Amino acid sequence: MALISQLLKPPVFGDEDRDRTARQLHVILLATAALLLLLEIIFLVNGQSLLQTRTSVLALLILTIAGLFVLLRRGYVHTASGAFLTITWAGLFYLSWHADGIFDVVFAANFVVILMAALLGGWRVALSFGALSILAGWGLALAQTSGIIDPTLDSPTSYARDITVVLILAGLTLYFLVGSLQNALRQARQTNQELQQLSASLETRIAERTRDLALAADVSQSVAQIQDRDQLLETAVNLIRDRFQLYHVQIYLLEHDRLALRAATGDAGRRLRAQGHFLPVDNLSINGRVALRQQSILVPDTAADRQFRPNPLLPRTRAELSVPLLVGQQLYGVLDLQSSQPNGLTAENVAPFESLAGQLAVAVANAALFAENQQARDELAWFKLGIERSVSAVFLTDLDGVIRYANPAFETVYGYSPAEAVGQNPRIIKSGLIPPDQYVDFWTKLLNRQVVAGEIPNRAKNGRIVTVAASNNPVIDENGRLIGFLAVHTDVTARKESETRLARRVAELDFLNRIDRTADDQPDLPHFLNWIAAELPAILPHSDLCRVAVELEGATYGNPEAYTHARHIVEGLRVEGARIGQLVIAYTDPTQTFENEDSALVGAVGARITAYVESRRLLRQVQRRASLLQKATEVGAAITARLAPEQLLAAFATHTQQAFNLAHVLVYLHDDAHAKLTRHAAASAPSAPSAYPLPSTAPSAYPLSSAASAAESGSRLILPLTFGAELIGVLDLQQAPPEQFDSQDQATFVSLAAQLAAAFRGAQQFRQTEQALQELQTLQSTLTHDGWEAFLTAKTRALQGYLAQGNTLKPIAATPTADAETAVSPTTLAQRPAATVPIRLGGVGIARLGVYLPDGAPLPAEEQQLLDALSDQIAQALERTRLAEQTQQALAETATLYAIGTQLNAARSLDDILHAVTMPLALHRNQTVAGTLFTVGSGAAGAVPDQLVAVATTNERLRPILWQPLPFEVFPAGNLIMANPDAPILVPDVATDTRIDDNARQLLTVAGTRTLAVLPLRLADRWLGVCILGWPDDTALFDDDDARLFRSIAAQMAVVLNSQILFSQVQKRARQEQLLREITTRVNSAVDADSILRTAAQEVGRALGLETFVYLTDRQLAAAADGRQTNGHPAANTDLPAFDAALFEETD
């Protein structure tokens, strides 16, 4: 039902005429459909078939009406109306043609179609269908007269039926037509009344608007004569506020995509301007929205507007109008008006204020234009002044080429005064050296408004050829018309001569750069020198006559013919002051001479050859150092993985011999009992003696062979193996002839010897630990009372036992614990009568087991036997637990040492060394530990260092002292270190330990350290540094195991730290040599004495970070002036003069 009700309602589209037509068409379609359906039913009742003409046409019309109904519902009102009228008229004509022709009642229904056309489409549509109906009638009449149509008259009943339908449709159409006319008349009367009321209202509004427009015109006239923008805006806001009696007026100008307040009334306006008030162009404020949309916005009552944002400085604002300042489509700003009365600004005020805003925008634009014109005049004055003082010749011509202006420089360049040039054609400076077709191209481009620039030869008044850099430009006015030409001619005659010299210098520098790039590719030396000898002649002026040869260490590269010509120049090649060869350049023609520039080039090429030879030597040294360190690292890693001392020594000998390709490697251990050195490992030395008697000399000078045997078998190196001050043994190394050990080899093997000693001592300690564990397992039955005391008083054990009371367990402790409230002391247990049995192990009582008896009754025999049996089982279980704990502790210490050793071998920096110790220690003791590593600042071997320098720390509080020297006398526990420099210093409680002085205690307190371990880092008798380990509380207690652990850690750290120091020294030396080579290359690339001195001072000062000076004495200036030019004479000695040796001493 709801759907049917919805279909019976006419559609509504929001347009009055469209809704009226839709409503009328809706009713007509429904009525027509109903009548056609009724007629179809009548025909079918009277026995007519659906296939007959009338019934078929009626059915088709019903379906068509349904389609038009759908079209109307979708909004196609006029389309549906036209289709309905057309289809209806065509259907009636069709029925008339096939029925009674002109006599058929259906044809009379055309009158209804004409009425519906007038109702739905207007009088034009009605006239159209009327004309069609007339034509159709005459057509039917002619067809009927000519016999084309044979009418058959219907019965009176059928006629009455048809005429009834026609009259009903006509009546319905007339009803709608008359109703529409009545509605139109009623609306016309209502509109007339509204127009009368509007007229009266408009008269009032016109009077008010006239007043507003007059006030606006008055304001506009007042500000129109003001040319200064700021004064104009200030005058405008005050006039608008006073004339329109407003609360506040302000003007924003659009600057940099935001609204900046430039004028405002009252104290609030002054404060806002002082604050630099501005608004973004967005929808968050009224003025921002106006600028964004470029439309006025009125807020009659700010209290009722949700988007209004009040200003605390303007609390009385109750109405606001914001108007854009527009000139065409250009927005200049916003005029903001505020009233203190609700509805004090209404829609009637918008138009006058928009007019005022438009005039104000024009005034602002004019003020800006005036300022721009004033600036343009000032710029023009400066421009003219600049042209008048320009050193370039500047002149202007008209389109015919006649000179209209020339600046004073025109006379300087061409010799013609401005008075002589004006009125002349530029042909007066034509040189005649430019082809005619080039002039044609010149004028074609200028007339096509293109700039013509380039260097051309012109002729001055005195006939001299002047080369100028000319820029010829078309002059175009504001309308785009070509009005003349501007030419700027700069005399570049002197510059052209300089360019010739510069081109050669560029070629020389390019060649020197190619030498540097080729050197960067590291070609082999013969190829590099032959390439230079082949390429250098092309850079010299007479390349076809030039021959180049390079002599280096007795070998000649290039063209040996250079030695045979008299006209030559020689450049000596020196490395570290030693002459290694020479560079020879010769001309085959004796009439050709070398210039000073040639000598500078030859010197620069010789410097690069020398630098390349030196760089290859340094590269080989650095590569060898890196190879030695890599091999030492591999050997260290190989021996670290060995825990058995014999395997460790054998692995060291084998890996060292193979890695360094030695003739033999022997390891002798010190036998203290027999005062001799015994061989324990060897590689490729089967004939070496198995033992040596211990000499009386120092360990570092053990002579294991005579000088004769060493010279005969090749270079030999013998190093002591020491751990702290303890001699462990001797390392004997020998090279195969003719190889010799150098300083790099010695430094590397000293480090390896230290690593071997530390690793061997660690392996011995590991073996001793294993042996101790085995002894403990075999001596369980002979456990002593002291051992159990240590077990009971261990720092991790606070409880002694438990008391069971039903289902409740209470701890038994002799000292206060965390469970102090529930703990029971042994003395309390003894106050009550109890039956106890001792728990013994190896005859020693280690515990007691007891039960409380009620009323002191004796314990039954069965229960006594049970207690005795249980005491034995408890004793065995406790013994197993104690041994397991000791074993676990020993294994944990060994694992910690192994982890520290592994990480130390992988350390690549001082921070890595420190982390390699602190991280495993933190895991081993399950406590946070902070470490700080100090290295020796100064001090001799064997002596206590003068000062220490903190180089790495994991304690954030100590980072400020990094790299700051710390005197040893104020160093924490420094007095303890001096007393025993080979043992770690362990301080359980810094706050109470009397060995720590007050200054050290204060420093450690600031660092957050309560428990302290100080590890002296020494290798043999040489100090390397000190490592401080600190814990934040006093629970990090120490025992003998800890002392052994820290001693081993110190030994391993000393070895790795020594390797780091050696590697750092190698790197520093390589950087210094590289820096020296770069500075030497830059100095040698300079072409004269001034450039050499300037480059030397800059580069040395930049490298050292210090003020640097260099100067020549009078004798040296004279030598520099003489140069190296030979010009055919016998080659001069190119060695440097004998300077004072003190000026050239090498410093580290």
Token couple for 967: 């005197």
Choose which CATH entry (3.30.420.40, 3.10.20.30, 3.40.190.10, 3.30.450.40) describes domain 226-375. 3.30.450.40
Would the pLDDT of 786 be above 60? no
At 417 the pLDDT is 93
Least confident span in 995-999, 1013-1017, 1134-1138: 1134-1138
Read off the pLDDT of each residue in 1077-1101 and give the average, rounded to a whole number.
73
Read off the pLDDT of each residue in 1097-1108 and give the average, rounded to a whole number.
73
End-to-end CA distance of the chain: 110
At 1115 the pLDDT is 46
Tens of pLDDT, residue by residue over 309-363, are 888 888 888 898 889 988 888 888 899 898 988 888 888 778 778 877 877 888 8
- Domain boundaries defined on the chain: 10-193, 226-375, 390-491, 501-622+1090-1102+1110-1142, 631-776, 794-888, 905-1069
Tens of pLDDT, residue by residue over 719-756, are 898 887 788 889 988 887 777 888 788 888 888 888 88
Pick from 880, 896, 807, 803: which is nearest to 841 by CA?
880
At 459 the pLDDT is 92
Would the pLDDT of 188 be above 90? no
At 814 the pLDDT is 63
Output 749 or 182, whichever has higher pLDDT. Answer: 749
Structural fold of domain 390-491: Beta-Lactamase (3.30.450)
At 853 the pLDDT is 72
Choose which CATH entry (3.30.450.40, 2.20.25.90, 3.40.50.670, 3.10.129.10) describes domain 631-776. 3.30.450.40
Would the pLDDT of 1145 be above 50? no
Q: How far apart are CA 1047 and CA 985, in angstroms?
A: 10
Provide the CATH number for the domain formed by 501-622+1090-1102+1110-1142 in this structure: 3.30.450.40
Q: Which residues pair with 253 in a beta bridge?
A: 260, 333
Does the fold of domain 905-1069 match that of domain 631-776?
A: yes
Residue ranges of the alpha helices (H) in 661-713?
707-713
CB atoms within 10 A of CB 470: 19
The DSSP letter of residue 1140 is -
HSE of 288, CA atoms in CB hemisphere, 13 A: 13
Return the exposure string of 15-46: e unless at least 16 CB atoms fall within 10 Å of the residue's CB, then b.
eeeeebbbbbbbebbeebbebbeebbeebeee
Output 205 or 65, whichever has higher pLDDT. Answer: 65
At 30 the pLDDT is 83
Three-class SS state of 601 = helix
Pick from 627, 676, 682: which is nearest to 653 by CA?
682
- Three-state SS annotation for 459-498: ECCCCCEEEEEEEEEEEECCCCCEEEEEEEEEECHHHHHH
At 1148 the pLDDT is 36
Three-class SS state of 549 = strand
Residue 1066 contacts residue 743 (beta carbons within 8 Å): no
CA 336 to chain CA centroid, nearest Å? 45
* Alpha-carbon distance values, 595 to 86, 499, 537, 573 (Å): 109, 18, 14, 21
Read off the pLDDT of each residue in 586-597 and give the average, rounded to a whole number.
84
* Alpha-carbon distance values, 921 to 2, 885, 886, 1049 (Å): 87, 19, 18, 10
Tens of pLDDT, residue by residue over 533-580, are 898 898 888 888 899 999 988 889 998 888 888 788 888 888 877 888
Least confident span in 208-222, 798-812, 1009-1023: 208-222
At 1108 the pLDDT is 79
Place 798 in a pLDDT band, splitting at 50, 70 and 90.
low
Would the pLDDT of 501 be above 90? no
Place 1129 in a pLDDT band, splitting at 50, 70 and 90.
very low
At 141 the pLDDT is 81
Pick from 129, 52, 124, 40: which is nearest to 84 by CA?
129
Would the pLDDT of 797 be above 50? yes
Mean pLDDT (the chain) is 77
Pick from 1029, 986, 984: which is nearest to 1008 by CA?
1029
Read off the pLDDT of each residue in 601-628 and give the average, rounded to a whole number.
84
905-1069 belongs to CATH 3.30.450.40: yes
Angle between helices 596-640 and 525-535 (to 10 degrees): 160
Angle between helices 910-925 and 861-906 (to 10 degrees): 170
Residue 645 contacts residue 760 (beta carbons within 8 Å): yes
Residue 953 contacts residue 959 (beta carbons within 8 Å): yes
At 206 the pLDDT is 66
Token couple for 824: 């029971």
At 815 the pLDDT is 62
Instruction: State which of 340-344, 409-413, 1033-1037 shows the largest mean pLDDT.
Output: 409-413
Place 612 in a pLDDT band, splitting at 50, 70 and 90.
confident
Read off the pLDDT of each residue in 119-140 and give the average, rounded to a whole number.
83
- State the DSSP string of 4-53: HHHHHSPP--S-HHHHHHHHHHHHHHHHHHHHHHHHHHHHHHTT--TTSH
Q: How far apart are CA 1027 and CA 1018, in angstroms?
A: 11
* Alpha-carbon distance values, 124 to 120, 127, 129, 921 (Å): 11, 5, 9, 108
Q: How far apart are CA 226 and CA 217, in angstroms?
A: 15
Q: How far apart are CA 958 and CA 952, in angstroms?
A: 9
Read off the pLDDT of each residue in 909-922 and give the average, rounded to a whole number.
82
* Alpha-carbon distance values, 107 to 43, 113, 139 (Å): 19, 10, 12
At 584 the pLDDT is 92
Burial class of residue 352 (count of CB atoms within 10 Å of its CB; 0-12, 13-18, 19+): buried
Least confident span in 193-207, 360-374, 901-915, 1023-1037: 193-207
